[in-house]
Structure 1
Amino acid sequence: MGRVLLALLLAALLGQAEAESLKIGLNYPRTGNYKDEGLELRRGALLAVEAINRQGGLLGQSLELLSENTDSNAAQATRNVDHFASQGARMVFGSATSEEAIAAGQRARELGLLYFATLGYANEVTGQAGQRYLFRESGSAWMSARVLGEYLSWHLPRQRYHYIVIDDAWGRSIEQTLRLATGSADRARHGRSALPSGPLRREQYRAAMDKAAASGADVLVLALLGDNLQRSMRMAHNMGLKQRMQIIVPNLTKSLVQQVGPQVMEDVIGTETWTWDTPKLENSEAGQRFVERYLREHQEYPGGTAASAYTVVQQWADAVRRSASTDAETLIAALEGHRYQLLKDEQQWRDFDHQNLQSIYAVRVRKRDQIMRDTLKQHYFEIIHRMSGEQAAPSHDEWIQERGEVLSLQ
């Protein structure tokens, strides 16, 4: 009898503890093409949860992070949303591809949950596929293309381009918008190779690189991500293409330079919405505290991917505090149009498309000898150009043109 009572008491205590935590779900790639970015996402999210709980949690409850592997697969990301909902999650975020963000975001909407995309760069995420329950913290292809286009038009005018792109939503988005921004829309003059999404064979990379080498181009755009980009960069380096062409990687990440190495990546130009020294440049005390905390935990600088996950969790928590609710519709009203400053200068959740407006930077990977002089040998990026979010993101008129007949988020 005593054992039965003890078991019932333990069950009640466990149930109470479970009820006392607010749960959020992280959709991240622990395996697959984007696993390095996935590690950064989880680290950033955990730091945010720990910081919130040190300050007393939310609405009198502690915050708990649930996480599931997407393997960079949209169907798996969607199944994960169902799992998070069954566990009582109040919000879901993450994704490594635009396809994941769109599919998982739609499922979250059906279940009455907000979804925040962190690495879905395709214009469709907040454009044609945008909906009320989907917000995007990261920049878009529009934003990357515009800051790159302005910098390249000033410093590398009238150049011949060649594009190697991944045939997915983001690859098509960034190619289209970068061609417009750089005046390289003429495919007869500015050639391309399209690679299928998913795992690729070495001969597929080689065929694309051989075509680029024979193109006579001055600028080589590698519109690739994850392992595909890592392998392509190594091949371009080994073929000596960097000595003949300026290589552009539209979305650079800390993990890419770490995995490929500074010697291979030096002088490559791309974009970032945040680097570890951005808080100092933008006089953000909260951003500098985040960098210091990350350094203590992991003995390395945080990258933009970790900062994105951290920001999403903190911003959702801020909306919960301001509205005293975890109801999705109430939080949408609290987020739309909201301006804040966290890890950099001012940002805003735009009301008509739920795109996060923030400064975006054109960056160049530093020379290897410069990187090696840094204490941690990780000071990878030099900011070479800056553009405001308002200038970089599509205007309301451009957004309406992309949306077609559906002129508001549903």
Structure 2
Amino acid sequence: MGRVLLALLLAALLGQAQAESLKIGLNYPRTGNYKDEGLELRRGALLAVEAINRQGGLLGQSLELLSENTDSNAAQATRNVDHFASQGARMVFGSATSEEAIAAGQRARELGLLYFATLGYANEVTGQAGQRYLFRESGSAWMSARVLGEYLSWHLPRQRYHYIVIDDAWGRSIEQTLRLATGSADRARHGRSAMPPGPLRREQYRAAMDKAAASGADVLVLALLGDNLQRSMRMAHNMGLKRSMQIIVPNLTKSLVQQVGPQVMEDVIGTETWTWDTPKLENSEAGQRFVERYLREHQEYPGGTAASAYTVVQQWADAVRRSASTDAETLITALEGHRYQLLKDEQQWRDFDHQNLQSIYAVRVRKRDQIMRDTLKQHYFEIIHRMSGEQAAPSHDEWIQERGEVLSLQ
């Protein structure tokens, strides 16, 4: 009888502890085209939750991370939002594609939950599809294109471009904005191949690469992500395209270089909003502590994807503390226009579109021998150009032009 009572008491205490936790939901790709980026998202989120709980949690309660696999599928990401809501989550974040971010963000809005996009780069996320309950921490296609465009116009002027793009929201966004930024809008001179979303066959990669090789272009833009980008880079390397073309990968990630290999990726140019050595460059003590904690936990440097997830959790928690509430409308007011410094220099949640304004960097993958000299052999990126978030992001007038008749977030 005593054991039964003890078991009931423990169960009651456990249930009370669970009920007292504040839950947040992470939508991330554990499988599929973007699984490597998904691993970094979860690692960054867990470090943020652990850090917050070490400091006493939020509003007297511990923070609990719920996570579900999206398999890089917008419909699954949307179903996950329903699941998180049923579990009592107060906020949802993540996604590895813009389609996921838009669809899951819309469902979160219907359920009265904030949604923070991490890897959704298409302009539509905070542009045409922007809404009050959706915030984006990662940079946009506008931001990547502008920092790349300025660097390329200075260092590789009057070049002929060829584009291989994924035919989805982000692929179309980055192609359009990069063409404008580099003066390569004339498709008769600056050709392209459009690849369908999802896994591709080897023949599709080969046809696109053969077309690029025959184009006579000086610059090859691979507007691809995940496994598709990894396979395309290996093929470009094996075909010797880097000997005659400068390859541009608009959104570079640590996981891409790790999976493909430094020899294949060396000298490729792209963009990042954060690298593991950014905190030193920007004199961010909190950023350096994050790097050290990640190193102790995983024996490797963190990438920008992990930093994005960490920042989202910490910023939501900060808004909760400042407003003493987890109510979505109250937190929107606390976030809009808020400036902060966490893992780098100053950032801001812009009020009219909920885009996170932050410095964005053009980076080049270092030579393999340089990378191998690093203790962990992971010092992949050299920052070659920097642009402020205010300069890189679309202006209010440009945002209004994209929005059309709906001139405020609804």
TM-score tier (shorter): over 0.9
For structure 1, the 5+ residue unaligned runs are: none
Shift of 1:12: 1.9
> 1:204-246: CA deviations, max 9, x gaps?
0000000000000000000000000000000000000000000
Shift of 1:18: 1.1
Q: Which residue of 1 aligns with 2:260?
A: 260
Looking at structure 2, the residues matched to 331 and 268 of structure 1 have their Cα atoms a distance apart, in angstroms, of: 40
Q: Which residue of 1 aligns with 2:139?
A: 139
Shift of 1:6: 4.0
- What's the TM-score, normalizing by structure 2? 0.99
Looking at structure 1, the residues matched to 49 and 394 of structure 2 have their Cα atoms a distance apart, in angstroms, of: 32
> 1:280-335: CA deviations, max 9, x gaps?
00000000000000000000000000000000000000000000000000000000
Q: Which residue of 1 aligns with 2:110?
A: 110
Q: Which residue of 2 aligns with 1:44?
A: 44
Looking at structure 1, the residues matched to 365 and 17 of structure 2 have their Cα atoms a distance apart, in angstroms, of: 47
**Secondary structure at 2:163 match in 1:** strand
Looking at structure 2, the residues matched to 337 and 80 of structure 1 have their Cα atoms a distance apart, in angstroms, of: 29
Q: Which residue of 2 aligns with 1:380?
A: 380
Looking at structure 2, the residues matched to 222 and 387 of structure 1 have their Cα atoms a distance apart, in angstroms, of: 22
Looking at structure 1, the residues matched to 267 and 144 of structure 2 have their Cα atoms a distance apart, in angstroms, of: 18
Looking at structure 2, the residues matched to 50 and 347 of structure 1 have their Cα atoms a distance apart, in angstroms, of: 23
Looking at structure 2, the residues matched to 52 and 106 of structure 1 have their Cα atoms a distance apart, in angstroms, of: 28
Q: Which residue of 2 aligns with 1:399?
A: 399
Looking at structure 1, the residues matched to 3 and 375 of structure 2 have their Cα atoms a distance apart, in angstroms, of: 58
Shift of 1:5: 3.8
Shift of 1:7: 4.6
**Secondary structure at 1:45 match in 2:** helix
- Once the two structures are overlaid, the 10-residue window that deviates more, 228-237 or 3-12, is 3-12
**Secondary structure at 1:153 match in 2:** helix
Shift of 1:19: 1.4
Over aligned residue pairs, what C-alpha RMSD do you find?
0.8
Shift of 1:15: 1.9
**Secondary structure at 2:149 match in 1:** helix
Shift of 1:145: 0.1
Looking at structure 2, the residues matched to 175 and 153 of structure 1 have their Cα atoms a distance apart, in angstroms, of: 16
**Secondary structure at 1:364 match in 2:** strand
Q: Which residue of 1 aligns with 2:154?
A: 154
Q: Which residue of 1 aligns with 2:311?
A: 311
Shift of 1:8: 3.6
Shift of 1:11: 3.2
Shift of 1:128: 0.2
Looking at structure 2, the residues matched to 387 and 375 of structure 1 have their Cα atoms a distance apart, in angstroms, of: 29
Q: Which residue of 2 aligns with 1:249?
A: 249
Q: Which residue of 1 aligns with 2:83?
A: 83
> 1:165-219: CA deviations, max 9, x gaps?
0000000000000000000000000000000000100000000000000000000
Looking at structure 2, the residues matched to 398 and 227 of structure 1 have their Cα atoms a distance apart, in angstroms, of: 33
Looking at structure 1, the residues matched to 388 and 93 of structure 2 have their Cα atoms a distance apart, in angstroms, of: 25
- Once the two structures are overlaid, the 10-residue window that deviates more, 116-125 or 1-10, is 1-10
> 1:359-397: CA deviations, max 9, x gaps?
000000000000000000000000000000000000000
**Secondary structure at 2:115 match in 1:** strand
Shift of 1:140: 0.1
Looking at structure 1, the residues matched to 65 and 204 of structure 2 have their Cα atoms a distance apart, in angstroms, of: 39
- Once the two structures are overlaid, the 10-residue window that deviates more, 4-13 or 214-223, is 4-13
Looking at structure 2, the residues matched to 230 and 256 of structure 1 have their Cα atoms a distance apart, in angstroms, of: 7
Shift of 1:20: 1.4
Q: Which residue of 1 aligns with 2:17?
A: 17
Q: Which residue of 1 aligns with 2:343?
A: 343
Aligned residues between the structures: 410
Looking at structure 1, the residues matched to 14 and 286 of structure 2 have their Cα atoms a distance apart, in angstroms, of: 35
For structure 2, the 5+ residue unaligned runs are: none
Shift of 1:265: 0.2
Looking at structure 2, the residues matched to 98 and 242 of structure 1 have their Cα atoms a distance apart, in angstroms, of: 29
> 1:7-45: CA deviations, max 9, x gaps?
542332122011111000000000000000000000000
Shift of 1:3: 5.7
Looking at structure 2, the residues matched to 400 and 15 of structure 1 have their Cα atoms a distance apart, in angstroms, of: 49
Looking at structure 2, the residues matched to 133 and 9 of structure 1 have their Cα atoms a distance apart, in angstroms, of: 40
**Secondary structure at 1:124 match in 2:** helix
**Secondary structure at 1:68 match in 2:** strand
Looking at structure 1, the residues matched to 46 and 8 of structure 2 have their Cα atoms a distance apart, in angstroms, of: 32
**Secondary structure at 1:51 match in 2:** helix
Looking at structure 2, the residues matched to 259 and 5 of structure 1 have their Cα atoms a distance apart, in angstroms, of: 53
Q: Which residue of 1 aligns with 2:54?
A: 54
Looking at structure 1, the residues matched to 260 and 184 of structure 2 have their Cα atoms a distance apart, in angstroms, of: 28
Looking at structure 1, the residues matched to 117 and 142 of structure 2 have their Cα atoms a distance apart, in angstroms, of: 16
Looking at structure 2, the residues matched to 391 and 6 of structure 1 have their Cα atoms a distance apart, in angstroms, of: 63
**Secondary structure at 2:351 match in 1:** coil
Looking at structure 2, the residues matched to 47 and 278 of structure 1 have their Cα atoms a distance apart, in angstroms, of: 18
**Secondary structure at 2:383 match in 1:** strand
**Secondary structure at 1:26 match in 2:** strand
> 1:246-270: CA deviations, max 9, x gaps?
0000000000000000000000000
> 1:75-114: CA deviations, max 9, x gaps?
0000000000000000000000000000000000000000
**Secondary structure at 1:322 match in 2:** helix
**Secondary structure at 2:286 match in 1:** helix
> 1:114-137: CA deviations, max 9, x gaps?
000000000000000000000000
Looking at structure 2, the residues matched to 8 and 55 of structure 1 have their Cα atoms a distance apart, in angstroms, of: 31
Shift of 1:4: 5.3
Looking at structure 2, the residues matched to 14 and 382 of structure 1 have their Cα atoms a distance apart, in angstroms, of: 49
Shift of 1:2: 4.9
Shift of 1:345: 0.2
